[in-house]
Structure 1
Amino acid sequence: MQDLLHEPLLTWGLRCFLALLFATAAISKLTAIEEFHGVVRNFRLLPDGLARPVALALPVVELAVAAGLMVTALAAPAAILAALLLAGFGLAIAINVARGRRQIDCGCFRDGMKQRISWLMVARNAGLAGLALLIAALLPATRAGGALDLLVGLMAGTLFMLLYFTVSMLGGLSARQGATPSPKGR
Protein backbone atom coordinates (compact mmCIF):
# COMPACT_ATOMS: atom_id res chain seq x y z
CA MET A 1 0.00 0.00 0.00
CA GLN A 2 2.83 2.38 0.88
CA ASP A 3 4.38 1.82 -2.55
CA LEU A 4 1.06 2.53 -4.28
CA LEU A 5 0.77 5.90 -2.54
CA HIS A 6 4.13 6.95 -3.97
CA GLU A 7 3.33 5.97 -7.54
CA PRO A 8 3.75 8.94 -9.89
CA LEU A 9 0.66 7.81 -11.83
CA LEU A 10 -1.46 8.26 -8.68
CA THR A 11 0.01 11.61 -7.74
CA TRP A 12 -0.30 12.86 -11.32
CA GLY A 13 -3.95 11.77 -11.39
CA LEU A 14 -4.72 13.56 -8.12
CA ARG A 15 -2.73 16.65 -9.13
CA CYS A 16 -4.51 16.81 -12.48
CA PHE A 17 -7.93 16.47 -10.84
CA LEU A 18 -7.23 19.28 -8.39
CA ALA A 19 -5.69 21.45 -11.12
CA LEU A 20 -8.74 20.97 -13.34
CA LEU A 21 -11.04 21.74 -10.43
CA PHE A 22 -9.25 25.02 -9.69
CA ALA A 23 -8.83 25.99 -13.36
CA THR A 24 -12.48 25.32 -14.16
CA ALA A 25 -13.65 27.28 -11.13
CA ALA A 26 -11.34 30.19 -11.98
CA ILE A 27 -12.32 30.37 -15.65
CA SER A 28 -16.02 30.21 -14.87
CA LYS A 29 -15.61 33.06 -12.35
CA LEU A 30 -13.59 35.17 -14.77
CA THR A 31 -16.22 34.80 -17.48
CA ALA A 32 -18.91 36.02 -15.06
CA ILE A 33 -16.88 38.34 -12.86
CA GLU A 34 -19.74 40.72 -12.03
CA GLU A 35 -21.93 37.83 -10.99
CA PHE A 36 -19.09 36.41 -8.90
CA HIS A 37 -18.60 39.81 -7.26
CA GLY A 38 -22.26 39.60 -6.23
CA VAL A 39 -21.66 36.12 -4.79
CA VAL A 40 -18.70 37.37 -2.73
CA ARG A 41 -20.81 40.27 -1.42
CA ASN A 42 -23.72 37.94 -0.68
CA PHE A 43 -21.59 35.88 1.72
CA ARG A 44 -21.49 39.00 3.93
CA LEU A 45 -18.08 38.19 5.38
CA LEU A 46 -16.10 41.11 3.95
CA PRO A 47 -16.62 44.86 4.02
CA ASP A 48 -18.20 45.98 0.72
CA GLY A 49 -14.96 47.76 -0.23
CA LEU A 50 -13.05 44.45 -0.20
CA ALA A 51 -15.61 42.34 -2.05
CA ARG A 52 -14.59 43.51 -5.55
CA PRO A 53 -10.80 43.15 -5.05
CA VAL A 54 -11.31 39.68 -3.58
CA ALA A 55 -13.65 38.72 -6.43
CA LEU A 56 -11.04 39.88 -8.95
CA ALA A 57 -8.04 38.30 -7.21
CA LEU A 58 -9.52 34.94 -6.25
CA PRO A 59 -9.83 33.49 -9.79
CA VAL A 60 -6.27 34.60 -10.56
CA VAL A 61 -5.00 32.85 -7.43
CA GLU A 62 -7.01 29.75 -8.39
CA LEU A 63 -5.40 29.75 -11.85
CA ALA A 64 -1.96 30.06 -10.24
CA VAL A 65 -2.75 27.09 -7.99
CA ALA A 66 -3.89 25.06 -11.01
CA ALA A 67 -0.71 25.87 -12.93
CA GLY A 68 1.49 25.22 -9.89
CA LEU A 69 -0.03 21.78 -9.38
CA MET A 70 1.10 20.80 -12.87
CA VAL A 71 4.73 21.90 -12.36
CA THR A 72 6.53 19.32 -10.24
CA ALA A 73 8.80 21.83 -8.49
CA LEU A 74 5.76 23.93 -7.49
CA ALA A 75 3.23 21.14 -6.89
CA ALA A 76 3.68 20.73 -3.12
CA PRO A 77 3.39 24.46 -2.28
CA ALA A 78 0.47 24.75 -4.75
CA ALA A 79 -1.25 21.81 -3.05
CA ILE A 80 -0.82 23.47 0.36
CA LEU A 81 -2.26 26.73 -1.02
CA ALA A 82 -5.13 24.73 -2.53
CA ALA A 83 -5.82 23.19 0.89
CA LEU A 84 -5.81 26.62 2.53
CA LEU A 85 -8.20 28.03 -0.08
CA LEU A 86 -10.54 25.05 0.22
CA ALA A 87 -10.52 25.31 4.01
CA GLY A 88 -11.24 29.03 3.76
CA PHE A 89 -14.12 28.41 1.34
CA GLY A 90 -15.44 25.72 3.67
CA LEU A 91 -15.27 28.09 6.63
CA ALA A 92 -17.13 30.82 4.71
CA ILE A 93 -19.82 28.32 3.75
CA ALA A 94 -20.06 26.96 7.33
CA ILE A 95 -20.50 30.46 8.76
CA ASN A 96 -23.37 31.17 6.38
CA VAL A 97 -25.03 27.79 6.90
CA ALA A 98 -24.80 28.35 10.67
CA ARG A 99 -26.45 31.75 10.12
CA GLY A 100 -29.32 29.96 8.37
CA ARG A 101 -28.43 31.41 4.96
CA ARG A 102 -28.68 28.14 3.01
CA GLN A 103 -30.33 29.62 -0.07
CA ILE A 104 -27.24 31.44 -1.30
CA ASP A 105 -25.04 30.16 -4.13
CA CYS A 106 -21.65 28.79 -3.10
CA GLY A 107 -19.91 30.67 -5.93
CA CYS A 108 -17.81 27.62 -6.79
CA PHE A 109 -18.72 27.59 -10.47
CA ARG A 110 -20.75 29.87 -12.71
CA ASP A 111 -22.41 28.92 -16.00
CA GLY A 112 -25.48 27.13 -14.68
CA MET A 113 -23.67 25.16 -11.97
CA LYS A 114 -25.10 27.16 -9.12
CA GLN A 115 -25.30 25.21 -5.88
CA ARG A 116 -26.95 26.11 -2.61
CA ILE A 117 -24.67 25.94 0.38
CA SER A 118 -25.03 23.16 2.96
CA TRP A 119 -23.15 21.21 5.59
CA LEU A 120 -22.53 18.59 2.89
CA MET A 121 -20.66 21.25 0.92
CA VAL A 122 -18.59 22.08 4.01
CA ALA A 123 -17.70 18.37 4.28
CA ARG A 124 -16.89 18.26 0.55
CA ASN A 125 -14.47 21.16 0.94
CA ALA A 126 -12.88 19.51 3.97
CA GLY A 127 -12.39 16.33 1.94
CA LEU A 128 -10.88 18.24 -0.98
CA ALA A 129 -8.59 20.15 1.41
CA GLY A 130 -7.52 16.81 2.88
CA LEU A 131 -6.82 15.52 -0.63
CA ALA A 132 -4.66 18.58 -1.35
CA LEU A 133 -2.69 18.02 1.86
CA LEU A 134 -2.28 14.34 0.97
CA ILE A 135 -0.82 15.35 -2.39
CA ALA A 136 1.60 17.73 -0.68
CA ALA A 137 2.65 14.99 1.75
CA LEU A 138 3.09 12.32 -0.94
CA LEU A 139 5.06 14.35 -3.45
CA PRO A 140 8.46 14.40 -1.71
CA ALA A 141 8.56 10.57 -1.53
CA THR A 142 7.01 9.92 -4.95
CA ARG A 143 9.44 8.36 -7.39
CA ALA A 144 10.15 10.15 -10.64
CA GLY A 145 7.73 9.14 -13.34
CA GLY A 146 7.94 8.92 -17.07
CA ALA A 147 5.84 10.21 -19.92
CA LEU A 148 3.42 7.28 -19.62
CA ASP A 149 2.83 8.02 -15.92
CA LEU A 150 2.09 11.62 -16.83
CA LEU A 151 -0.25 10.71 -19.70
CA VAL A 152 -2.23 8.12 -17.75
CA GLY A 153 -2.32 10.42 -14.70
CA LEU A 154 -3.73 13.22 -16.85
CA MET A 155 -6.40 10.91 -18.21
CA ALA A 156 -7.25 9.66 -14.71
CA GLY A 157 -7.44 13.21 -13.37
CA THR A 158 -9.74 14.18 -16.22
CA LEU A 159 -11.96 11.18 -15.48
CA PHE A 160 -12.04 12.13 -11.76
CA MET A 161 -13.09 15.65 -12.77
CA LEU A 162 -15.87 14.38 -15.03
CA LEU A 163 -17.16 12.17 -12.22
CA TYR A 164 -16.97 15.10 -9.79
CA PHE A 165 -19.00 17.32 -12.14
CA THR A 166 -21.53 14.54 -12.75
CA VAL A 167 -22.13 14.11 -9.03
CA SER A 168 -22.32 17.91 -8.57
CA MET A 169 -24.83 18.26 -11.40
CA LEU A 170 -26.99 15.44 -10.08
CA GLY A 171 -26.97 17.06 -6.64
CA GLY A 172 -27.94 20.37 -8.20
CA LEU A 173 -30.79 18.76 -10.14
CA SER A 174 -32.28 17.19 -7.04
CA ALA A 175 -32.04 20.54 -5.21
CA ARG A 176 -33.78 22.34 -8.11
CA GLN A 177 -36.50 19.69 -8.35
CA GLY A 178 -37.25 20.14 -4.66
CA ALA A 179 -37.67 23.91 -5.07
CA THR A 180 -41.16 25.29 -5.25
CA PRO A 181 -41.82 27.07 -8.55
CA SER A 182 -42.75 30.71 -8.22
CA PRO A 183 -46.26 31.71 -9.30
CA LYS A 184 -46.39 33.35 -12.72
CA GLY A 185 -48.16 36.61 -13.59
CA ARG A 186 -51.57 37.09 -12.09
Structure 2
Amino acid sequence: MSETSGTGLPGTPTTLFQHALRLHRLTPDAPLVRSGEPFPGTKRRRRQRGQPFDPSRGDADAAKVLDTYFLDTRVSPRQLAIKLRDVPVSSRYSERIGAAALRAPTARARETGRWLIRHGTDLAPVAVGLALLAEVGTVDDIRLIQTIGLLSNDFGPLAVRALERLPGGVEALFWLAERVTAWGRVHAVDALCRRVDDHSAV
Protein backbone atom coordinates (compact mmCIF):
# COMPACT_ATOMS: atom_id res chain seq x y z
CA MET A 1 0.00 0.00 0.00
CA SER A 2 1.36 3.39 -0.93
CA GLU A 3 -1.11 5.46 1.10
CA THR A 4 0.30 7.27 4.12
CA SER A 5 -1.15 6.68 7.53
CA GLY A 6 -1.05 8.21 10.96
CA THR A 7 -3.46 9.42 13.55
CA GLY A 8 -3.03 13.11 12.71
CA LEU A 9 -2.65 15.91 15.22
CA PRO A 10 -3.55 15.37 18.89
CA GLY A 11 -7.31 15.66 19.25
CA THR A 12 -7.88 15.07 15.54
CA PRO A 13 -10.31 12.18 14.93
CA THR A 14 -8.79 9.15 13.24
CA THR A 15 -10.28 8.66 9.80
CA LEU A 16 -11.83 5.31 8.96
CA PHE A 17 -9.30 4.96 6.14
CA GLN A 18 -6.37 5.48 8.53
CA HIS A 19 -7.94 2.96 10.89
CA ALA A 20 -8.30 0.34 8.12
CA LEU A 21 -4.79 0.96 6.78
CA ARG A 22 -3.16 0.69 10.22
CA LEU A 23 -4.90 -2.63 10.95
CA HIS A 24 -4.13 -3.96 7.48
CA ARG A 25 -0.42 -3.33 8.01
CA LEU A 26 -0.58 -5.52 11.11
CA THR A 27 -2.00 -8.45 9.11
CA PRO A 28 -1.31 -7.66 5.44
CA ASP A 29 -2.29 -11.10 4.11
CA ALA A 30 -5.22 -11.88 6.38
CA PRO A 31 -8.58 -10.35 7.30
CA LEU A 32 -8.70 -7.63 9.91
CA VAL A 33 -9.53 -8.81 13.40
CA ARG A 34 -13.32 -8.45 13.89
CA SER A 35 -13.47 -6.78 10.45
CA GLY A 36 -11.81 -3.73 11.99
CA GLU A 37 -14.43 -3.16 14.66
CA PRO A 38 -14.79 -1.25 16.90
CA PHE A 39 -14.15 1.81 14.76
CA PRO A 40 -12.82 5.12 16.08
CA GLY A 41 -15.69 7.08 17.65
CA THR A 42 -17.59 3.91 18.58
CA LYS A 43 -19.87 5.54 21.15
CA ARG A 44 -21.22 8.06 18.65
CA ARG A 45 -21.78 5.39 16.00
CA ARG A 46 -23.51 3.13 18.49
CA ARG A 47 -26.10 5.84 19.16
CA GLN A 48 -26.61 6.34 15.42
CA ARG A 49 -27.08 2.63 14.81
CA GLY A 50 -29.68 2.48 17.58
CA GLN A 51 -31.91 4.86 15.64
CA PRO A 52 -34.58 3.53 13.24
CA PHE A 53 -32.88 2.86 9.90
CA ASP A 54 -34.68 3.75 6.68
CA PRO A 55 -32.21 3.33 3.80
CA SER A 56 -34.62 4.61 1.16
CA ARG A 57 -35.13 7.86 3.05
CA GLY A 58 -31.44 8.14 3.91
CA ASP A 59 -30.29 7.52 0.35
CA ALA A 60 -32.81 10.06 -0.97
CA ASP A 61 -31.57 12.62 1.57
CA ALA A 62 -27.95 11.92 0.64
CA ALA A 63 -28.74 12.34 -3.06
CA LYS A 64 -30.33 15.75 -2.37
CA VAL A 65 -27.29 16.82 -0.34
CA LEU A 66 -25.03 15.74 -3.20
CA ASP A 67 -27.07 17.59 -5.83
CA THR A 68 -26.88 20.79 -3.78
CA TYR A 69 -23.14 20.30 -3.22
CA PHE A 70 -22.35 19.77 -6.89
CA LEU A 71 -24.30 22.89 -7.88
CA ASP A 72 -22.11 25.10 -5.70
CA THR A 73 -18.36 24.86 -6.33
CA ARG A 74 -17.69 26.98 -3.24
CA VAL A 75 -18.72 24.12 -0.95
CA SER A 76 -15.76 21.98 0.13
CA PRO A 77 -15.76 18.18 0.56
CA ARG A 78 -15.23 18.78 4.28
CA GLN A 79 -18.47 20.77 4.45
CA LEU A 80 -20.20 18.01 2.51
CA ALA A 81 -18.93 15.40 4.96
CA ILE A 82 -20.38 17.39 7.86
CA LYS A 83 -23.80 17.57 6.16
CA LEU A 84 -23.74 13.83 5.44
CA ARG A 85 -22.53 12.78 8.87
CA ASP A 86 -25.91 11.92 10.37
CA VAL A 87 -27.70 10.77 7.22
CA PRO A 88 -28.62 7.04 7.49
CA VAL A 89 -27.00 5.95 4.23
CA SER A 90 -27.23 2.33 3.11
CA SER A 91 -24.06 0.25 2.84
CA ARG A 92 -25.37 -1.17 -0.44
CA TYR A 93 -25.62 0.39 -3.87
CA SER A 94 -28.23 3.12 -4.17
CA GLU A 95 -29.59 4.14 -7.56
CA ARG A 96 -30.41 7.58 -6.17
CA ILE A 97 -26.86 8.28 -5.02
CA GLY A 98 -25.49 6.73 -8.21
CA ALA A 99 -27.69 9.01 -10.31
CA ALA A 100 -26.53 12.05 -8.33
CA ALA A 101 -22.93 11.06 -9.07
CA LEU A 102 -23.65 10.79 -12.79
CA ARG A 103 -25.40 14.16 -12.87
CA ALA A 104 -22.29 15.83 -11.48
CA PRO A 105 -19.13 16.86 -13.35
CA THR A 106 -17.11 13.64 -13.47
CA ALA A 107 -13.82 15.08 -12.24
CA ARG A 108 -15.44 16.77 -9.24
CA ALA A 109 -17.46 13.69 -8.37
CA ARG A 110 -14.29 11.58 -8.48
CA GLU A 111 -12.21 13.96 -6.37
CA THR A 112 -15.06 14.29 -3.87
CA GLY A 113 -15.36 10.51 -3.57
CA ARG A 114 -11.64 10.17 -2.98
CA TRP A 115 -11.65 12.91 -0.34
CA LEU A 116 -14.60 11.44 1.54
CA ILE A 117 -12.99 8.00 1.70
CA ARG A 118 -9.58 9.27 2.75
CA HIS A 119 -10.76 11.84 5.28
CA GLY A 120 -14.17 10.66 6.47
CA THR A 121 -14.49 9.96 10.18
CA ASP A 122 -18.13 8.83 10.03
CA LEU A 123 -19.84 5.98 8.23
CA ALA A 124 -22.16 7.98 5.98
CA PRO A 125 -19.58 10.27 4.29
CA VAL A 126 -17.29 7.32 3.59
CA ALA A 127 -20.16 5.26 2.19
CA VAL A 128 -21.15 8.14 -0.08
CA GLY A 129 -17.53 8.48 -1.20
CA LEU A 130 -17.52 4.81 -2.15
CA ALA A 131 -20.84 5.21 -3.96
CA LEU A 132 -19.33 8.06 -6.00
CA LEU A 133 -16.29 6.00 -6.96
CA ALA A 134 -18.57 3.08 -7.83
CA GLU A 135 -19.80 5.30 -10.68
CA VAL A 136 -16.79 7.42 -11.66
CA GLY A 137 -13.74 5.74 -10.11
CA THR A 138 -10.68 4.78 -12.15
CA VAL A 139 -7.95 2.15 -11.79
CA ASP A 140 -6.04 4.71 -9.75
CA ASP A 141 -8.67 4.23 -7.03
CA ILE A 142 -8.32 0.46 -6.64
CA ARG A 143 -6.01 0.55 -3.61
CA LEU A 144 -8.15 3.17 -1.92
CA ILE A 145 -11.31 1.13 -2.47
CA GLN A 146 -9.67 -2.12 -1.38
CA THR A 147 -8.35 -0.59 1.83
CA ILE A 148 -11.67 0.85 3.00
CA GLY A 149 -13.37 -2.35 1.82
CA LEU A 150 -11.43 -4.23 4.50
CA LEU A 151 -13.97 -2.73 6.93
CA SER A 152 -16.31 -5.10 5.20
CA ASN A 153 -19.32 -5.17 7.50
CA ASP A 154 -20.07 -1.57 6.59
CA PHE A 155 -18.30 -1.01 3.27
CA GLY A 156 -17.96 -4.46 1.68
CA PRO A 157 -20.92 -4.32 -0.72
CA LEU A 158 -20.08 -0.85 -2.07
CA ALA A 159 -16.37 -1.66 -2.34
CA VAL A 160 -17.17 -4.80 -4.32
CA ARG A 161 -19.45 -2.90 -6.68
CA ALA A 162 -16.82 -0.21 -7.21
CA LEU A 163 -14.07 -2.77 -7.92
CA GLU A 164 -16.04 -5.01 -10.25
CA ARG A 165 -16.77 -2.07 -12.56
CA LEU A 166 -13.09 -1.20 -13.05
CA PRO A 167 -10.54 -2.65 -15.47
CA GLY A 168 -8.50 -5.12 -13.46
CA GLY A 169 -11.41 -5.55 -11.11
CA VAL A 170 -11.22 -9.34 -11.02
CA GLU A 171 -7.71 -9.35 -9.56
CA ALA A 172 -8.71 -6.60 -7.15
CA LEU A 173 -11.73 -8.62 -6.02
CA PHE A 174 -9.56 -11.70 -5.44
CA TRP A 175 -7.29 -9.59 -3.24
CA LEU A 176 -10.24 -8.32 -1.21
CA ALA A 177 -11.96 -11.72 -0.96
CA GLU A 178 -8.82 -13.19 0.62
CA ARG A 179 -8.76 -10.46 3.28
CA VAL A 180 -12.37 -10.22 4.44
CA THR A 181 -14.72 -12.60 6.22
CA ALA A 182 -18.43 -13.22 6.68
CA TRP A 183 -20.70 -11.12 4.45
CA GLY A 184 -17.77 -9.18 3.06
CA ARG A 185 -16.39 -12.37 1.54
CA VAL A 186 -19.84 -13.45 0.36
CA HIS A 187 -20.24 -10.24 -1.65
CA ALA A 188 -16.74 -10.49 -3.13
CA VAL A 189 -17.12 -14.16 -4.10
CA ASP A 190 -20.56 -13.51 -5.56
CA ALA A 191 -19.09 -10.78 -7.76
CA LEU A 192 -16.32 -13.13 -8.88
CA CYS A 193 -18.87 -15.79 -9.76
CA ARG A 194 -20.63 -13.29 -12.01
CA ARG A 195 -17.34 -12.87 -13.84
CA VAL A 196 -16.69 -16.55 -14.63
CA ASP A 197 -16.61 -15.66 -18.31
CA ASP A 198 -13.44 -13.67 -17.58
CA HIS A 199 -10.50 -16.11 -17.92
CA SER A 200 -8.62 -14.37 -15.10
CA ALA A 201 -11.40 -15.38 -12.72
CA VAL A 202 -11.08 -19.11 -13.48
User: Same fold, TM exceeding 0.5?
Assistant: no
RCO comparison, higher one (Cα < 8 Å, 6+): 1
- If each structure's helix is expressed as a fraction of its own residues, which one has the higher value? 1
- Normalising by structure 1, we get a TM-score of 0.28
- Normalising by structure 2, we get a TM-score of 0.26
Larger Rg: 1 or 2?
A: 1
